[in-house]
Amino acid sequence: MDNAISLTAVPINTAVFIYDIKKSPCRNRLYELGFTKGTRVIPLHINPGKSAVAYFVKGAVIALRNSDAENIYVMGDKA
Amino acid sequence: MKKILLVGNPNTGKSTIFNALTGKHQHTGNWSGKTVGNASGIMRYKGEEFEITDLPGIYSLEPISEDEIQAVECLRSNIADLIVVVLDATCLERNLILASDITRLCTNVIVCVNLIDEAEKKGIEVDTVKLSNMLRVKVIPTKARSGIGIDLLKEAIYTQNEKCRCCCCSPECIYKSCVYSGQDITNNRDRKIDRILTSRVFGIPIMLFMLCCILWITIWGANYPSGILSSLFGRIENILLELFADMPVVRGVLIEGVFRTLSWVVAVMLPPMAIFFPLFTILEDLGYLPRIAFNLDHIFKKVNAHSKMVLSMCMGLGCNAAGVISTRIIESKKERLIAIITNNFMPCNGRFSSLIMLAAVFISGGMFASIKVALAVTAAILSGVFITFMISYILSNTILKGEGSSFILELPPYRAPQPMAIIRRSIRERIVYVLFRAVIVAAPAGALIWLLQNITVNDITLLSHIAGFLDPFARIMGIDGYILTAFIIGLPANEIVIPIVLMCYTGNSGLIEFNSLSELGMLLRAHNWTYITAICAMIFSLNHFPCATTLLTIKKETGSIKWTVLSFLIPTIVGVVLCILANAILRIAAL
Ligand SMILES: Nc1nc2c(ncn2[C@@H]2O[C@H](COP(=O)(O)OP(=O)(O)OP(=O)(O)O)[C@@H](O)[C@H]2O)c(=O)[nH]1
Ligand SMILES: [Mg+2]
């Protein structure tokens, strides 16, 4: 799908749904933490150095570095 | 005896349940990765005994970091008769994935839905009856911290005998039919707090302010008990000295050596440790530590280290050996080694009391003395953090080169700390522990010092021989031979370094009574200490070889002599170089 954007481009407090996760060393860890296809994700806080963002996912708040979150592609509604 | 495992996602309350079941005192803390090794205990119920094992938290059955590998190995080894899966009621959507994986892997499972109290507050409702029907296992709701539901859990463990049948619903489907969540995600209490504590403007200043406040309370609060303890010990010593008046050697070794060193350790070192520890535990139970990692992530990114290092650094403030063990949560081997080697740059509780003492030397009394000392110690700790960054950067670009790191960390909900539990834990872990170490390490060291002070060769005491030998080198570093000797004798435990220095100086003059740490600082000034001596001693206290316990732990954790030796050499070299530089610069500036 062409209208999927990277998770890092989503504004704070906007709910989006995961479309795909690109292959990367931490992909498995992301899966286990609940970043799976179709899951709703909401960015909540940006850290002071703007290097990481805290996301709401499956009931938990998880901080991801932008270089990892870049690999997650999301869409505005459930595909 | 039946073997029972406690398994679940991190920070779901496994250790809290373990403590409630067995009456043991496994550490708990509000962040993912508090428990990094297995712990076992016995639960007695209705005349039967069960062996309960608390495992580190796991996210799935494919482990990545060292602590998870241990937990999954234990789980897969099939040694358990029963598995208790602990779930977080506020985060069931994710927790149920692991639960359903485990019901598929193992036949004898009980599910415990913990943190029900928090779920209720957040407007999350869990239908445990339906959950039990769908998962086809017993489901027990608990509020482990207040002990509610623990008896039901014991009963369930006691009566469990049926093998469960496999469940066929997907975790998503179970979640949708059993959990109703009416929680406000983007604007609840935790988010409001986080918007301040992790904000761009206030995040880091608030962090520094909190550190400074904690140190100030510690320093200010320690004066009073220190004064009381020292006068108490002074009186006891006088009585003892009279009692043994006609046995000079016994009197010397036992009272002037052992007893006096012990009283220095207890009167000077213990009070700051006993006050700092509970204050720090409050931050830990609040859930603040992962926020520090989040706030500082960009710096760790620049130096190619893992932000989870913040957590092991914080544990290092309590004890470096504990800090080294807690690095198990860092997934990558290379980043874990960086965290292990640099952990010693965070002053542990024992050195921390030394820093307070030393800062008091160049800050004279007066109204704001304790605030000034707090600022000086804050500066010392921050310089430790700065050196940690520098060394991490150097290591990650030389001998520990590797892939850039990732940072994935849960920010737990804020939880109100429980004052009574913290006080009880502090007494158990700090006061009893320090007293124990005092007897094991400080007593022999005290006897040794007395002997060194009283055995003479060529009319000069052994202590003077040793100190004299080290003196020329120590002078270049801005300290003196006695101080360097104390650091070397203090290898087994950092909390005896300052007491040994004091022993060396006060030699045969009897215990000096003092009312505050600043007064003790004056004593050192009377022995030719200047602010330069104190600053160099602080630098060397912050940067020198780890204590023996920490070295043994590093050997055990890395399984390598090479990394142990490096962990010894790197801080020592840094310390020597910095002391020489500081001494030279301060002396030139003073001209
Ligand atoms: N409000 C509330 N807090 C709880 C409850 N159970 C545990 N806690 C708190 O939750 C935090 C985590 O508890 P732990 O027992 O350390 O969790 P754990 O599962 O052992 O965590 P790891 O060892 O990191 O995997 C602690 O701060 C506990 O005090 C509960 O039922 N209610
Ligand atoms: Mg635990």
Tell me if A33 and B59 make a contact (CB, 8 A cut-off).
Answer: yes
Q: What is the pLDDT of residues B442-492, one digit of tens each?
A: 889 989 988 888 888 888 889 889 999 999 999 999 998 999 999 999 998
Across the interface, of A51, A57, A59, the residue whose CB is closest to B90 is A59
Restricting to B residues 177-236, those with a Cβ less than 8 Å away from any Cβ of A are 181, 185-186, 190-191, 194-195, 198-200, 203-204
Q: What percent of chain B has pLDDT over 90?
A: 52
Query: Which of A12, A45, A57, A78 to probe the B interface (max B CBs under 10 A)?
Result: A45
B29 CA distance to ligand 1 middle (Å): 6
**B335 has pLDDT over 60:** yes
CB atoms within 10 A of CB B530: 16
Q: Report yes or no: B523 and B233 within 8 Å, Cβ to Cβ.
A: no
Quote the CA–CA distance of B414 and B191 in Å, as a whole number. Answer: 10
- Say yes or no: CB of residue B28 within 6 Å of ligand 1: yes
DSSP per residue over A52-74, as a string? EEEEEETTEEEEEEHHHHTTEEE
Q: Report yes or no: B89 and B141 within 8 Å, Cβ to Cβ.
A: yes
- Say yes or no: CB of residue B430 within 6 Å of ligand 1: no
Predicted local confidence at residue B384, as pLDDT: 94
Predicted local confidence at residue B129, as pLDDT: 92
- Say yes or no: CB of residue B145 within 6 Å of ligand 1: yes
- Angle among Cα B222, B227, B231 to the nearest 5 degrees reads 150
Residue B404 banded pLDDT, cuts 50, 70, 90 = low
Tell me if A44 and B191 make a contact (CB, 8 A cut-off).
Answer: yes
Ligand 1: atom nearest CA of B35 is 23
Residue B508 banded pLDDT, cuts 50, 70, 90 = low
- Say yes or no: CB of residue B167 within 6 Å of ligand 1: no
Quote the CA–CA distance of B104 and B204 in Å, as a whole number. Answer: 45
* Residue range of the domain that includes A40: 5-75
Predicted local confidence at residue B436, as pLDDT: 86
Quick one: CA dihedral B67, B70, B75, B76, positive or negative? positive
- Closest listed residue to residue B51, CA positions, set B157, B209, B193: B157
Question: What integer is the mean pLDDT of B561-574?
Answer: 95
- Nearest residue of A to residue B179, measured between CA atoms: A59
Helix (H) or strand (E) holding B181: strand B179-181
Give me the sheet containing B2-8, strands edge to edge: B39-45, B48-54, B2-8, B82-88, B109-114, B138-141
Compute the nearest-CA separation of A22 from chain B (Å): 15
Predicted local confidence at residue B87, as pLDDT: 96
Question: What integer is the mean pLDDT of B200-210?
Answer: 93
Helix (H) or strand (E) holding B130: helix B128-135
B37 CA distance to ligand 2 middle (Å): 9
Chain A positions touching B198 (Cβ under 8 A) are: 45, 47-48, 54
Question: What integer is the mean pLDDT of B350-369?
Answer: 80
Quote the CA–CA distance of B367 and B236 in Å, as a whole number. Answer: 32
- Say yes or no: CB of residue B326 within 6 Å of ligand 1: no
Across the interface, of A28, A52, A61, the residue whose CB is closest to B407 is A52
Ligand 1: atom nearest CA of B28 is 16
Where b means 16+ CB within 10 Å and e means fewer, B359-386 reads: bbbbbeeeeebbebbbbbbbebbebbbe
- Flag whether residue A50 sits within 8 Å of chain B, measured between CB atoms: yes
**B163 has pLDDT over 80:** no
Q: What is the pLDDT of residues A13-59, one digit of tens each?
A: 999 999 999 988 888 889 989 999 999 999 999 999 999 999 999 99
Q: What percent of chain B has pLDDT over 70?
A: 96
When the pLDDT of each residue in chain A is averaged and rounded to a whole number, the result is 90
Predicted local confidence at residue B512, as pLDDT: 61
Ligand number nearest to the C-alpha of B30 = 1
Residue B345 banded pLDDT, cuts 50, 70, 90 = very high
Question: Total domain count for chain A?
Answer: 1
More confident residue, B219 or B116: B116
Predicted local confidence at residue B514, as pLDDT: 67
Least confident span in B20-24, B68-72, B527-531, B550-554: B527-531
Ligand 1: atom nearest CA of B54 is 20
Chain B positions touching A63 (Cβ under 8 A) are: 290, 293-294, 297, 407-411
Q: Which residue among B7, B15, B420 has the greatest number of ligand 1 atoms within 8 angstroms of its CB, and so is best to mutate?
A: B15
Ligand number nearest to the C-alpha of B11 = 1
Residue A79 banded pLDDT, cuts 50, 70, 90 = low
Compute the nearest-CA separation of B199 from chain A (Å): 6
Question: What integer is the mean pLDDT of B145-164?
Answer: 86
- The HSE-up count of residue B527 (CA atoms within 13 Å, CB side) is 19
Report the amino acid identity of residue B320. Answer: N
Q: Rounded to 5 degrees, what are φ and ψ at A17? A: -120, 140
- Nearest residue of B to residue A44, measured between CA atoms: B186
Predicted local confidence at residue B517, as pLDDT: 64
When the pLDDT of each residue in chain B is averaged and rounded to a whole number, the result is 89
**B264 has pLDDT over 60:** yes
Going along chain B from its start, the domains and CATH numbers come out as 2-183 (3.40.50.300), 203-401+419-590 (no CATH)
CATH number for A11: 2.30.30.90
Predicted local confidence at residue B38, as pLDDT: 92
More confident residue, B105 or B541: B541
Tell me if B294 and A63 make a contact (CB, 8 A cut-off).
Answer: yes
Q: What ipTM is given for this predicted complex?
A: 0.95
**B270 has pLDDT over 90:** no
Quote the CA–CA distance of A48 and A42 in Å, as a whole number. Answer: 19
Tell me if B297 and A52 make a contact (CB, 8 A cut-off).
Answer: yes
Q: Considering the entire predicted model, what is its pTM?
A: 0.91
Residue pointed to by tokens 């204050």: B279
- Closest listed residue to residue B559, CA positions, set B48, B66, B44: B66
Question: What integer is the mean pLDDT of B555-571?
Answer: 94
